Each structure stands twice: as structure tokens, then as C-alpha cells.
Amino acid sequence: MASLDRFRVVGGAHLRGEVTVTGAKNSVLKLMAASLLASGKTTITNVPEIADVNIMSDLLTRLGCSVEHKGSVLTIDVPETPGHRADYDLVRKMRASINVLGPLVARVGQAEVALPGGDAIGSRGLDFHIKGLETLGAKAHIEHGYVIAEAPNGLVGAAIELDFPSVGATENIMTAAVLANGVTTIDNAAREPDLVDLGEFLISMGAKIQGLGTPLITITGVTQLHPTTHATIADRIITGTWAFAAAMTRGDITIHGARAQDLELPLEKLASAGAIVTSTADGIRVRMDTRPQAIDVSTLPYPGFPTDLLPMVIALNAIADGHSLVTENVFESRFMFVNELIRLGAHISVDGHHASIDGVNELSGAPVEATDIRAGAGLILAALVSEGETTIDQAFHVDRGYPNFAEQLCQLGAQVSRE
């Protein structure tokens, strides 16, 4: 999976212009997995051109589906009886592969899904997913690196309470419960907009779901679902990345297709850093004329500040006026990339879940390395405000989440190339 590609960024530009937000990675991959719930042709539109969509397409193809991808439209033809095994060679490339678990157990009565393994942002357990499916009557265990789950006689609705509002666990339980016999409640459910998008997709397939976007989701099982057509929700993390890019580079970016309602807290934080955020006919505009003021941020499950924007907020604070404290509450460790920012001259110290940042006037370009998708994007933003040239190795991480990022940055006036 790793490639030798890197980004080369010459800092100093004020980003100005217009961008259009594509569909959300964290939604489309789940919609694709959930298409397994009904045989026949499901069509997903507003599909972003990212590497992870190709990985999920490969996985679905191996499960017996025919996947056709034309521009931003994806058609998935699901067979009467899909396969049930998701192999390690694909799962290891992308954690969202675990999202086939719930649909397969519900529809095929069995699933063998490789454990995704570690990640640069923490260990990311699967205990809530497995416990949830067991509560619905599946038998599940881990053997030879695979989660093996079986429910030959179908699943039975049950009351489930999550210890933490895990996005992935809520999704796997919801996509299993839609075909269970009876009513399932998920208490302390995740409320992320991407999850609401998945719920609406399931409803359009004939599922009965109430309480999406609230901590209590109620699902009344049905015996069969039908294929559907659905447009992927706009990517709030890409929107947020552009918003931070505008503020950090003292630029002016109009973001078409942005859903401000999914980003209330990050946009409020940007306003307190000095950015001018306004609504437009189909999105938002973010401008900044001055050096940003430092902002304190704690990440939390939605509607809290998204953990996926943590690298962007740390990058902004690295060049902001003042001292800030940024706390990560969702993942075990997300601060690995801080060492890379320090290579650019940032003054940051990390203590457990906290990063303490003293803003400097300017960063200075250096070779750095992306450690995950969002860290890679955060480093590119930092490179844009660094004097001189920065190279960011492991570009493939960024490709997993940001379609044509370098090209779009160039259109906004940045000097970014790929080599």
C-alpha cells in the first residue's frame, strides 16, 4: 500500500478561490458495505475519487458483487447469496472494511472478517461491535486473526447500551438490526452526520429506524430490504480542512456544497481565532485577514469537536498568536504527527492526551512524513504557512481521504506538486 509518492509544498500563498466539497469518505464506505443487505442493483452518487472507495469495491467484488464505477456514480449489483469472508490483504488496508460484518451476519447468517489491526492513532478495539452482535443473538469469537460471527437462525432485536458512542459499533449494530426479528434499541449511540446518512440510506432500502442523530436509535426489524439509490452526504472533514486552510493562510475560500450545520463547533472556534465565516447560497465562505488567535480545543464525539480535525487545529495553533491547549478524548494517541510539526519549527509539548502549543510567527520548511490521512492534511496546511519548501512523504495516506488535493490547492494559488 505504501508508495514513494510525496508532496512538495512551497509556503507563503494566501489561498483564494472556490472549491466544491465531495461526498464523505466516512459515509460512502459504509453505504457501500450496507448495500450487501439487499440483492440487486444499488446506486450511490456523489462518490469521491479516493483510494478507499477502490479498496471497498475490491472487497465487495470478492464477496460476489459486481461493482461499476463511472465518475461519481457507483453501482453495486449484489448477488442473492454473497460470500462471507473479508480477507486480511484487503481489510488491513482500511479499517472501514469491518463495516461488512453487520450486513453479512444479518443477511448471510455468517461472517469472517479479518481484524483490521493497529493504527497510527491508537489500538481501536472491536469489543463493542462484537458484544452488540452477540446481544442480537449471534455467536462471535476471534480465531486466527478473524472475527467469526454466526447467526444461522437469524438475529433477534434487543436493547443495547454502548459504553462509548462508537461510530463503527453503532453502524455495525444498526446494519445488523435492520433485518433482526423484533425491535432493537441502541442507547448512547453515535450521532455523527455520516451515521445519519447511513441510517437514511437504510430507510430508503425499506428499514424502519427512528432517532437518527440522537443518542437513542430504535430499529424495528423487517424481513427483507430492497436496493436503492442514494447521494452521499458532503464530507464535513474536508469542508473543515478547507476552512482551516483559509484561516491559516489568511486567505478567502468559498466552499460549495459545505454543510455548516455539521461543523458548528469547528466554525465557532475558527471565528474565535479571528476568521470571518459566512453562509453562501450553497455552502460557506471563510476569510481571514490577520494572524489567528490561539484556540483551546477538546475533541469529543459529535456534536463535539471532531477528532479528525485535530491535526488542523494543532497546525493553526502552531502559527497562532498565543498559547493553546488541545486535548484528544476519542483516540488513544493521535499526536504522533506532532514530531513532524516540531521539525517545521512548531513549539509543542505533548503530555498524555494534551498538546500544549506556543504559537510562533512562522514555521520553516523541512522534510516530514504523513502518519495517517488527517495528519497528512494537517502537515500540508502547516507546509503552506512555512517559509521555503516542505516535502511530505507517504502521500498515499492523504489520497485515502482527499480527492485531488494537490490540484485543488494549486487552483487556490498554492505551490504544491507531487513527485
Please report, as ranges, the residues that interact with ligand UD1 according to CB under 6 A: 26, 95-96, 122, 124-129, 164, 166-169, 192, 307-308, 330-332
Task: Yes or no: say if 234 and 257 are a contact pair by the CB < 8 Å rule.
Answer: yes
Q: Nearest approach, Cβ of 9 to ligand UD1 (angstroms)?
A: 24
Q: Which single residue is written with the C-alpha cell 459499533?
A: 169
Q: Nearest approach, Cβ of 182 to ligand UD1 (angstroms)?
A: 23
Query: Residues 58, 77, 119, 321: which is the catalytic one?
Result: 119
CB closer to ligand UD1 out of 13 and 169 = 169
Q: Nearest approach, Cβ of 129 to ligand UD1 (angstroms)?
A: 5
Quote the cell numbers at residue 21: 466539497
Q: Nearest approach, Cβ of 243 to ligand UD1 (angstroms)?
A: 17
Q: In what order do the strands lie in the sheet with 183-187?
A: 159-161, 183-187, 216-220, 208-210
d(CA 103, CA 367) in angstroms, rounded, equals 43
Render 18-37 in DSSP notation, one character per residue: EEE--B-HHHHHHHHHHGGG
Q: Nearest approach, Cβ of 168 to ligand UD1 (angstroms)?
A: 3
Q: 119 catalytic, yes or no?
A: yes
CB closer to ligand UD1 out of 130 and 368 = 130
Query: Smallest Cα–Cα separation from 112: which of 60, 150, 160, 165?
Result: 150
Q: Nearest approach, Cβ of 67 to ligand UD1 (angstroms)?
A: 19
CB closer to ligand UD1 out of 31 and 247 = 31
d(CA 159, CA 397) in angstroms, rounded, equals 38
d(CA 161, CA 38) in angstroms, rounded, equals 27
Radius of gyration of the chain (CA): 21
CB closer to ligand UD1 out of 74 and 330 = 330
d(CA 25, CA 348) in angstroms, rounded, equals 30
Residue number closest to ligand UD1, CB atom: 168
Render 30-60 in DSSP notation, one character per residue: HHHHHGGGSSEEEEEES----HHHHHHHHHH
CB closer to ligand UD1 out of 40 and 303 = 303
CB closer to ligand UD1 out of 206 and 213 = 213
Task: Yes or no: say if 317 and 324 are a contact pair by the CB < 8 Å rule.
Answer: yes
As to burial, measured by CB atoms within 10 angstroms (0-12 exposed, 13-18 middle, 19+ buried), residue 333 is: middle
CB closer to ligand UD1 out of 79 and 145 = 145
d(CA 333, CA 288) in angstroms, rounded, equals 31
3-state secondary structure 208-276: EEECCCCCEEEEECCCCCCCCEEECCECHHHHHHHHHHHHHCCCEEEEECCCHHHCHHHHHHHHHCCCE
Q: Nearest approach, Cβ of 235 to ligand UD1 (angstroms)?
A: 11
Q: Which single residue is written with the C-alpha cell 469547528?
A: 266
Q: Nearest approach, Cβ of 274 to ligand UD1 (angstroms)?
A: 27
CB closer to ligand UD1 out of 79 and 125 = 125
Which DSSP symbol is given to 364? E
Catalytic residues: 119
